[in-house]
Structure 1
Amino acid sequence: MRQVFAPLVLPDASDRYRSGSGLPGPDYWQNRADYSISAHIDPASHVLGGDETITYTNNSPDALDVLWVQLDQNIYKDGARAGFSNPERHPHHTDGMVIERVEVGEAAHRQAVATLVSDTRMQVRLPTALAHGGRVRLHIVWHHTIPGVWGGRTAVTPVRDGTIFEVAQWYPRMAVYDDRRGWDTLPFLGQEFFLDYGDFDYAVTVPWNFTVAGSGALVNPAEVLTPKERSRLDAAGKSDTRVMIRTAEDVTDPASHLARAGEKTWRFHMTNTRDVSFAASDAFVWDAARINLPPVAPAPGMKPVPRLAMSVYPREGIGPQAWDRSTDYVKHAIEYFSQQWFAYPWPNAVNLGGHGAGMEYPGIVFDGWEDHGPELFWITTHELGHDWFPMIVGSNERRNAFMDEGFNTFIDVYASDHFNHGEYAPKSDSEFAPKTGRPAEDILPVLTDPQAPTLMTPSELVSEKYRHPVTYFKSAYGLMLLREQILGPERFDPAFRRYIASWAFHHPTPSDFFRFMSSETGEDLTWFWRGWYFENWAPGYALDSVAAAKDGGTMVVVRNTGKLLLPVTLCVTYADGSHEDRVVPTESWYLHDHVTITLPDGKRVARAELDPDHKLPEPDRTDNVRDVSVP
């Protein structure tokens, strides 16, 4: 037991930046990146070109002589590191992100700067170091070919009426400079991303017959939408059921567009986000309904507008148990997560029916137009749940995927229970319950596998075999154990809400989470962090004996045989049919491997059982029950 209860040294020490309570410290700082981007799609060549300005603010105490920029599209270059580490994920090759020009300075005083590209990173050497509190404007002109049909995080998908461009991780993005590592420049190998927050103004120029759906608010509807489409959007803002903005008939009707030649530029604004993404197509059906949340602050020069749940998809996705219900799922997810955990901060939430990536970005998620039934509900809810983890609570997905996928899987399990009186409950897709849908049983293959990685294993070192069982399922189930078996909802829920609010739009580490939950709930959880996150331990309990006590009553001896010392319920059934539960707490095992529980005299015990409801993930239950006869 000394190993189980020994002090745990967390990876990151507390200091003035990150307090011992798990909260941001008094000197916590975070840099900021604001973006202005103009992009253009050539549908014939699949080339996306852009001209962007990044306004980077250095809030760190350090002077920065260089900046590091992420070029995720270089993952598709022949010879990229990702091609060796995960060749099955990246079958398509392109020239990657072609950098045409890099300059720093204000409009009339720009100067070219030296750069060095290394795989999916680019170092920008500043002519003058950027001091604390300083700001620099970085100008980059670039282009790349969108890989297709499927390129990992972005795609060109042909459908019956045209082509869907799913555009993600598409522009040069600032790497994070923080108090943990300085520049966090892990190469992009396919496992998500880590970004600072800022405001985005981005414009996408496409052919006249394309519709664009993107992160944030559309700020020029009069320039890209017909009066009928704008009227329908207005109606959607007053409706709890979906309103068709573009119908199946509109898809093949040129008159349904504002123009019939040339190009249109769609402009979007999003405040305080770590990323933006969009989809563009000449084949979109589009519907929307209001989200019942207060209006967000509008973009500059715009009036407040209702927040909308939206779905865009090709005609092939239409169906009563398919994309006809998507917007209901979007609306429920945003409203439920807002009520339960933290209010959704952005104007719209979009579900895209495209190739079927099952991938999330702030305000928009990429799902599959072929999804239907429970699968469409589960994938929609899960991907939208990522707006909370890691889009609001900005953990480092590239290093600690369990704080992203697992935390999100945890919240969407309860969303499945909540939707339409449990229509799709329990959540039983492969992300959470690979076999039976009973978590305590489904986790056993992980807990009994000596090759299974721990939750603290760096993201890129978790093989595909273990990615869902460990990163998604074990992480989510760990939070369920905390909520339902260790702390109880009355302690867990307020603490988890405050964790989200305290780290919203910031960058927590696993150490911050562990410290916060122990401090806020008033429980020393060191033993649980060690056993569930740093190790792969399982609980084990046995009923050694049930016997009459010398002075009357009954003595039940419970023995501990495992290392994950979860509170365990002893259920005693008396001969008269009555029941009594006793909870054996974790502290019982501080100095002993067994405890004796004395039951009062006067009732004859017929049966004793440990964990009668099978709530604990115990591999061996053969010694958990005793049928007895005590005189």
Structure 2
Amino acid sequence: MKKLNLLGGILSLFLLIYSTPAFSQQGKDNNQKDFSEFMDRSGNSYRTASGKPGEAYWQNAADYQIDVTLDESNHTLSGKVTITYTNNSPEKLDFIWLQLEQNRFTPTSRGTLTTPVQGNRYNGDTDGGYDISNVSSKVGPKGASSSKHLIDDTRMQVWFAEPIPAKGGKATVSMDFSFKVPQKGMDRMGRLKVKDGWIYAFAQWYPKVAVFDETEGWNVEPYLGAGEFYLEYGTFDYKVTVPYNHIVVGSGKLMNPTEVLSKELQSRYAKAAQSDETVYLVSPEEIKNTSLTRPKQDGMITWHFRIQNARDAAFATSDSFIWDAAKINLPSGKTALAQSVYPMESNGQGAWTRSTEYSKASIEYYSKQWYEFPYETATNVAAEINGMEYPGLNFCHYNSKGEGLWGVTDHEFGHNWFPMIVGTNERRYAWMDEGFNTFINHYSSNAFNNGEYPSTLNQTRRFNGYFTSENREGIDNYPDVTDTRNLGMVAYMKPAIGLVMLREYILGQERFDNAFRSYIKTWAFKHPQPSDFFNHMENVAGENLSWFWKGWFYGNGNIDLGIASVQPYGGNYLVNLVNKGDFPMPVLLEFTYDDKSTERVKLPVEIWQRGDSWSYLHKTSKKVTGVVIDPDKVTTDINLGNDSWPIEVYK
């Protein structure tokens, strides 16, 4: 009876309080909207809720055999491609789509017509494009041939006389193609005139299969400019015929060194493959000394390359290359070859003479830290390209020097992990390739040569001018839509800073590294979607991070944590905190005592679930003389004025 009377009294008090006019008009607000899911991340048979490929996951494959010849007098490349396509999907395919990216270099291409009048980084020549002939397609080794195809801008649809069977059906497509090599190739490929001749940088040089997946079907976004690539994996076996005095370097392994290198050059090549120091294959003094370096002295010669389990291939050729190389040491005990080719204009210890040193260090660091480099060679090519990556091969600007050359070399080689190993859709989700790569570059730069070239992300708040700009854009913008003036932040810096905060401030290094390494290993040579990344990081790290993905990756708001006051409280201290930002964050506090010692306390993000203020009782027998939020300045908190108490101590 007494218990019932007590409960009745509590109920009466509750009704009295919450029946007043102030409370009858609205309920108490909370921040659950900040912690709720922002996209459907539930699993299915294709992609699990734990961020792994499901039991029904599939992806198609494309193997390429290509044979091309360079006509240096007319600057044209011509040849034949044969594609063997494997349909692992659960549906029959009546046709496949291919990308014809050289068709961007025409006056009426979508890319040309959507380039601003004032131009941008992705300007390109408009007197090129493919000449395609002898198209033939068939299903299986004995299928009927078809020549039916349709070309629209940078896409090509190839039809078959019968559907490609599901779950392993194979088909072949072959065609002849040629194109004029652009001099200005949208900062991704092209040709450069140097004192001793021409340098040809070949990318987007062959018709390539578009991706067919279970989330979009055919991924057929046109090639406009900023949007990069999304490609199937396979084996590339390609032959390049060039004048006898050229050197060719390409993605993958050189298959016929005895046919294209003199005995002296073969000896140097073998020496470089065993040397941790850079070895000249062709020295600056030997650029034109073909009798020493080439096996023949007239006509044409064919270089043969192969790369396996790759999503693309690129190559470069010139009669003006200095060529050097060194050994790459991999964690498994295997080795690979780092090599650089560059003209006399790029020579020098302050410039490209250190390129192979940079390349070797970059590949070795990422292999040890994240996942082992899978290809036989890592080649850096000097060209008139600010920086562009392909499997095992980069194009970097021939005028780059010192810190700039390190930065671009390290960045482009970092792309071997994103998107070459982890095969994301760059045309849609640039942040999963550029952002993740910029993040791993941060640590590689700090590690190289005891910090010779420190990372720009060591000071994340240097970018706060952008974060408070009215013209800022969100990470989730597609690259072709993003203002090119913002692309560096949207695709590169902001997602990289987000991962730095996740590793150094939110999860801690061990939990983050376990999850990130697992993500790379799980999705190596596969096609993850954004939700796969979010789910995998959460499941391995053991943390619900919806609030962070939503706030940082799919929002455009800012961080502003503050200390409202610090006051004595029963022999201890009460720290009153406020969140004036647009999404929640954990709060790392550093207390300074009168004996000059310090102590750190981390409050979980859940303190903001009920509202935007929180009081923390700090128990200590010492006298507190100062308190500061985020003492290492890892987060991009936009308001330093409320980060410390008393304010004057932390000016």
TM-score for both structures, normalised by structure 1 = 0.94
1:538 aligns with 2:573: no
| Counterpart Cα distance in 1 of 2:596 and 2:383 | 58
SS in 1 for 2:480: helix
Q: Match of 2:324? A: 287
Partner of 1:438: 459
Matches within 5 A, 1:122-137: 122-132=156-166, 133-137=168-172
Asked if the contact 1:546/1:628 (under 8 Å) is kept, the reply is no
- C-alpha distance in 2, partners of 1:101/1:3? 61
Q: 1:306 Cα deviation (Å)?
A: 5.0
Return 589-598 or 154-163, whichever deviates more.
589-598
Q: Distance in 1 between matches of 2:277 and 2:236?
A: 30
- Partner residue, 1:301: none
1:99-114 residue pairs with structure 2 within 5 A?
A: 99-105=132-138, 111-114=145-148
Range 394-403 or range 566-575, more displaced: 566-575
Identity of aligned residues (%): 41
1:323 is displaced (CA, Å) by: 1.1
Amino acid at match of 2:134: R
User: Deviation of residue 274 (structure 1)?
Assistant: 0.3
Cross-structure match for 1:117 = 151
1:274 aligns with 2:311: yes
8 A Cα contact 1:605 1:628, kept in partner? no
> Are the equivalent residues in 2 in contact too, given 1:205–1:264 (CA < 8 A)?
yes
Q: Could you tell me how far 1:617 is from its partner in structure 2?
A: 1.1
1:421 maps to which residue?
Answer: 450
Structure 2 equivalent of residue 299 of structure 1: none
Q: Residue 158 of structure 1: CA displacement?
A: 0.6
Q: Give the distance between the partners of 1:608 and 1:592, measured in 2 at CA.
A: 22
2:200 equivalent among 147, 165, 170? 165
SS, match of residue 195 in structure 1: coil
Q: Tell me whether 1:251 sits opposite 2:287 in the alignment.
A: yes
Q: SS in structure 1 opposite 2:79?
A: strand
Shift in alpha-carbon separation, 1:376–1:506, aligned structure 2, 3 A: same
For the structure 1 residues 628 and 269, does the alpha-carbon distance in structure 2 shift closer, same or farther, using more than 3 Å as the test? closer
Structure 1 unaligned spans of 5+ = 297-304
Q: CA deviation at 1:510?
A: 0.7
The residue identity in structure 1 corresponding to 2:69 is: H
Distance 1:14 1:628, change over 3 A: closer
- 8 Å contact kept, 1:150–1:157: no
Q: Which runs of 5+ in 2 are unaligned?
A: 1-29
Q: Which residue pairs with 1:77 in the alignment? A: 106
1:152 is displaced (CA, Å) by 3.5
Identify the residue that residue 453 of structure 1 maps to in structure 2. Answer: 473
**How far 1:628 moved relative to its partner?**
9.7
Partner of 2:51: 22
Give the Å deviation of 1:339.
Answer: 0.4
Query: Which amino acid is the alignment partner of residue 126 of structure 2?
Result: H
CA offsets 1:400-453 (integer angstroms, 9 cap, x no match) = 00000010010011001111111111x23xxxx5xxx611x1232232234322
The partner residue of 1:518 within 513, 520, 538 is: 538
Task: Supply the distance in 2 between the matched residues of 1:467 and 1:537 (Cα, whole angstroms).
Answer: 17
Give the letter aligned to residue 288 of structure 1.
Answer: A
What is the rounded CA distance, in whole Å, between the counterparts of 1:445 and 1:540 in structure 2? 14
Inter-partner Cα distance in structure 2 for 1:513 and 1:467: 22
Query: Is the contact between residue 203 and residue 314 of structure 2 (CA under 8 Å) also seen in structure 1?
Result: yes
Paired residue type of 1:116: L
Does the alignment pair 1:565 with 2:584?
Answer: yes
How far residue 13 of structure 1 moved from its aligned partner, in angstroms, is: 5.1
- CA drift of 1:156 comes to 1.1
Structure 2 residue aligned with 1:548: 568
Counterpart contact for 1:35–1:55, Cα < 8 Å: yes
Q: Which whole-Å deviations, capped at 9, do the CAs of 1:253-289 have from their partners, x for residues lacking one?
A: 2313211111000000111100000000000111111
Contact conserved, 1:570 with 1:581, CA < 8 A, in 2?
Answer: yes
Aligned to 1:613: 632
The alpha-carbon distance between structure 1 residues 601 and 526, as it changes in their structure 2 partners (threshold 3 A), is closer
Give the greater-gyration-radius structure (CA). 2
Q: Distance in 2 between matches of 1:608 and 1:227?
A: 70
**Residues 176 and 194 of structure 1 are in contact (CA less than 8 Å); yes or no, is this contact kept in structure 2?**
yes
Asked if the contact 1:606/1:628 (under 8 Å) is kept, the reply is: no
What is the CA distance between 1:589 and its match in structure 2? 0.8
Cα contact 1:31–1:58 (8 A) shared by 2: yes
Structure 1 residues 67, 628: CA separation in 2 closer, same or farther (over 3 Å shift)?
A: closer
Please state if 1:187 is matched with 2:222. Answer: yes
Distance 1:591 1:295 in 2: 50
Letter in 2 for 1:27: A
Matched, 1:198 2:217: no
Give 2:311's aligned amino acid. Answer: R
Q: Does residue 388 of structure 1 match 2:417?
A: yes
Matching residue's letter, 1:168? A
Match in the other structure for 1:357: 386
485, 488, 509: which is aligned to 2:508? 488
CA deviations 1:139-192 (Å, max 9, x no partner) are: 111111111144432211011111100000100000000011110000011221
TM-score of the two chains, using structure 2 as the length reference: 0.91
Q: Which moved more, 1:270-279 or 1:570-579?
A: 570-579
Could you tell me which amino acid in structure 1 is paired with residue 545 of structure 2? L
Amino acid at match of 1:466: N
Shift of 1:197: 0.1
- Residue in structure 2 matched with residue 302 of structure 1 by the alignment: none
What amino acid is the match of 2:414?
A: G
- Counterparts of 1:202 and 1:108 in 2: how far apart (Å)? 25
1:57-68 aligned within 5 A: 57-68=86-97
Distance (whole Å) between structure 1 residues aligned to residue 128 and residue 600 of structure 2: 66
- Verify the 8 A CA contact 2:330 2:368 in the aligned structure 1: no
Q: 2:300 aligns with which of 263, 288, 293?
A: 263
Aligned equivalents of 1:526, 1:600: Cα separation in 2: 31
Match of 1:220 among 241, 256, 262: 256
Q: How many residue pairs get matched? A: 611
**Bigger mean CA deviation after superposition, 199-208 or 444-453:** 444-453
Determine helix, strand or coil for the equivalent of 2:607.
helix
Paired with 1:369 and 1:627, the residues of 2 have a C-alpha distance of 52
- Indicate how the Cα distance of structure 1 residues 11 and 380 shifts in structure 2: closer, same or farther if over 3 A, else same: farther
Is 2:395 aligned against 1:376?
A: no
Give 1:474's aligned residue.
Answer: 494
What's 2:347 paired with? 318
The CA deviation string for residues 1-29 of structure 1, in whole angstroms up to 9 with x for no partner, is 53543422426653110000111111100
Tell whether the 8 Å contact from 1:295 to 1:307 is kept in structure 2 after alignment.
Answer: no
Consecutive aligned runs of 4 or more in structure 1 exceeding 4 Å deviation? 106-110
Question: What is the Cα deviation at residue 218 of structure 1?
Answer: 0.6
Which of 110, 116, 126 in structure 2 is aligned with 1:93? 126
- Taking the aligned partners of 1:406 and 1:541, their CA distance within structure 2 comes to 25
Amino acid at match of 1:544: A
Question: Residues 38 and 546 of structure 2 are in contact (CA less than 8 Å); yes or no, is this contact kept in structure 1?
Answer: no
- The reply on whether 1:33 has 2:67 as its aligned counterpart is no
Question: Which residue pairs with 1:153 in the alignment?
Answer: 188
Counterpart amino acid of residue 26 in structure 1: E
Q: Distance in 1 between matches of 2:331 and 2:499?
A: 30
Q: CA deviation at 1:214?
A: 0.3
Contact preservation (8 Å) 1:538, 1:564: yes
Give distance in 2, aligned partners of 1:6 and 1:582.
23
SS in 1 for 2:640: coil
Listed one character per residue, the Cα deviations across residues 358-401 of structure 1 (whole Å, up to 9, x for unaligned) are 00000100012211111111110100000000000000000000
Counterpart Cα distance in 1 of 2:253 and 2:331: 15
Aligned residue runs from structure 1 range 617-628, under 5 A: 617-627=636-646
State whether residues 541 and 558 of structure 1, in contact with CA within 8 Å, keep that contact through their aligned partners in structure 2.
yes
Question: Cα RMSD over matched residues?
Answer: 1.9
**Offset of residue 295 of structure 1:** 8.9
Asked if the contact 1:76–1:90 (Cα under 8 Å) also holds between the matched residues in 2, the reply is no
